Amino acid sequence: MRRKDTKERILEASMKLFSEKGIRETTIKDIAKQVGVTEGAIYRHFASKDEIVLGLFQTYSEDFYRRLISAVRGESSYRERFSETIRAFLSFCFENPSAFKYLSLFHYLRAKDVKSFSPLPKDAILELMDEGIRKGHVKVKQEYALALFVGLLERTFLLVEAGILQKEEVLVEDLASILWKAIS
């Protein structure tokens, strides 16, 4: 069982370590130790450290996008889907804090590489905002709407991570009504 998915465990360990200490400051040896194997074993599953770094971004970026887009394209009313998307965003953050932090870090350090991935999570939000503008719900510039949406949720997550806000206190409905007010 354990042995089965060494590859999976390498990815998990890497993401954890990358998000905690940074990519460059995490060594293959660190990852190997965390997984419980030796350095050489990593190379049986990945051709290079960068393959892990890139693979990780791809995997989690896609996952994040899929969760968001599925909320965005739901069946319910626009306002309900608006809330659902916020919920999906925060679920992802709180279920995988390392992953979310890793995605942010990757944006900072590998801005150029980000461009080769598509679709990105923000594309889901943009789709939601586009629809809102077309339907008249969103009255501010699309870019501001995106900046507000992502900015508020990311910062909220960071405040929780920093211990300034308790996860339990973060209410999707509060955030949804604040954002809704801001953009309409």
Residue 2 site contact among DNA, a second copy, none (CB < 5 to 8 Å, cut-off depends on kind) = DNA
- Phi and psi, residue 4, nearest 5°: -45, -65
Place of tokens 């599925």: 70
CA distance 90 to 102: 15
Report the half-sphere exposure of 40 (CA within 13 A, side-chain side): 0
Helix (H, G, I), strand (E, B) or coil at 64: helix
Nearest to 97 by CA among 65, 140, 132, 60: 60
Binding at 43: pick from a second copy, DNA, none (beta carbon under 5-8 Å per type) = DNA
Q: In the range 65-84, which residues lie near a second copy by CB under 8 A?
A: none
Q: Which of 11, 37, 138, 160 binds DNA (CB under 7 A)?
A: 37
CB atoms within 10 A of CB 11: 20
- CB of 68 within 8 A of CB of 51? no
Restricted to residues 45-104, the positions that interact with DNA (CB under 7 A) are 45, 47-50
Select the span of 22-30, 39-47, 61-69, 80-88 touching a second copy (CB under 8 A).
22-30
Pick between residue 51 and residue 80 the one whose CB is nearest to DNA: 51
| Cα angle 18-19-25, degrees, rounded to a multiple of 5 | 40
Q: Does 167 bind a second copy (CB under 8 A)?
A: no
Stretch that binds a second copy, among 9-17, 33-41, 56-64, 158-166 (CB under 8 A): 158-166
* Residue 165 interacting partner from a second copy, DNA, none (CB closer than 5 to 8 Å by kind): a second copy
Residue numbers of the site for DNA (CB under 7 A)? 1-3, 6, 24-29, 32, 37-45, 47-50
